[in-house]
Amino acid sequence: MKTKDVIYMIYNENEQSTTSMGIEFIDFIHCLTVEPNNILLLESRYTGEDFHYGLRLEFVRKENLKDLYEENVYSYGDFCWVDFDEMNTLDDLTPQEKAELLYLGHYQQPFGSPFFEKLNNKFVYLAHDDGWFNKIFYKDKNQYIDVLGRLISNKLKSYRKNVPPLGQDIGELLTLFAKDGILIDLYRIVKFRNSVEIPFNIIGRIMNFDDVYNNMERHKAKANSEYWLVYKKGEWAIQSYK
């Protein structure tokens, strides 16, 4: 079993953030309906075509993002970035805003708000060993629900083609469960002729991901119920088996 065969996720409504294991950078990118305009790299080993001397940071223009997507960002160790709209906004940042961006990349937590008005960033992506520990802030909660819905359907492509994303109602319900930490067992997917079922458990908010991964069966056994994401007859549903 590999980390990509499970997803552990905690949703923090107050922060509008999700902390996860099993979701990689490229998974996240493939779930976006609109690609970022540009990316400012707060922490990485990427060396591209553009470097901002005022910030002492690399950035990637939209036309060069494909090169970044093809990188093995796991090998960087820390990989942190924010998206931004216009190039000239990098020149307009105040010393305070620059300091907050550098703090965000170095400590992997915001000093104030993770969103910067001048940059108009929609996301903050903070990862250590990408796919092992990722924290993403979403400016719009609905974008998180949309990404979550597409993530599940994308993960199913090797099992069944053309499975649509989760509907808004199912995405919102799964988000509600994720407040208490959900463990989704992709390696236990059950395939039938006309349906697919994915088991998940609510195991609590555990920030020690080594514990989650190494003691997965114990955590599942302690959960009160087992739930299943079920795709059947063109629709998604959540079922519970106690």
Q: What are phi and psi of 21, to 5 degrees?
A: -125, 140
Residue 240 has a CB neighbour count (10 Å cut-off) of 9
**Cβ 27 vs Cβ 73: under 8 Å:** no
The mean predicted confidence, pLDDT, of the chain is 92
Task: Give the separation between CA 74 and CA 78, rounded to whole angstroms.
Answer: 8
Q: Does 237 have pLDDT greater than 90? A: yes
Write down the pLDDT at residue 200. Answer: 95
Give the angle 210-129-170 at the CA atoms, nearest 5°.
75
Arithmetic mean of pLDDT, 199-205: 95
pLDDT in tens, 116-166: 999 999 999 999 999 999 999 999 999 999 999 999 999 888 777 788 999
Instruction: Evaluate if residue 4 carries a pLDDT over 80.
Output: no
| pLDDT attached to residue 193 | 80
* 234 pLDDT above the threshold of 90: no
pLDDT of residue 100: 97
What's the pLDDT score for residue 194? 82
Q: Is pLDDT above 70 for 1?
A: no
Quick: pLDDT tens for 59-99.
999 999 999 999 999 999 999 999 999 999 999 999 999 99
Domain definitions of the chain by residue range: 24-130, 162-241
Percent of the chain exceeding pLDDT 90 equals: 83
* pLDDT higher than 70, residue 42: yes
What per-residue confidence (pLDDT) applies to 48? 83
| Sign of the Cα pseudo-torsion (23, 27, 31, 32, in order) | positive
Query: Which pLDDT does position 150 carry in this prediction?
Result: 94
| pLDDT for res 181 | 96
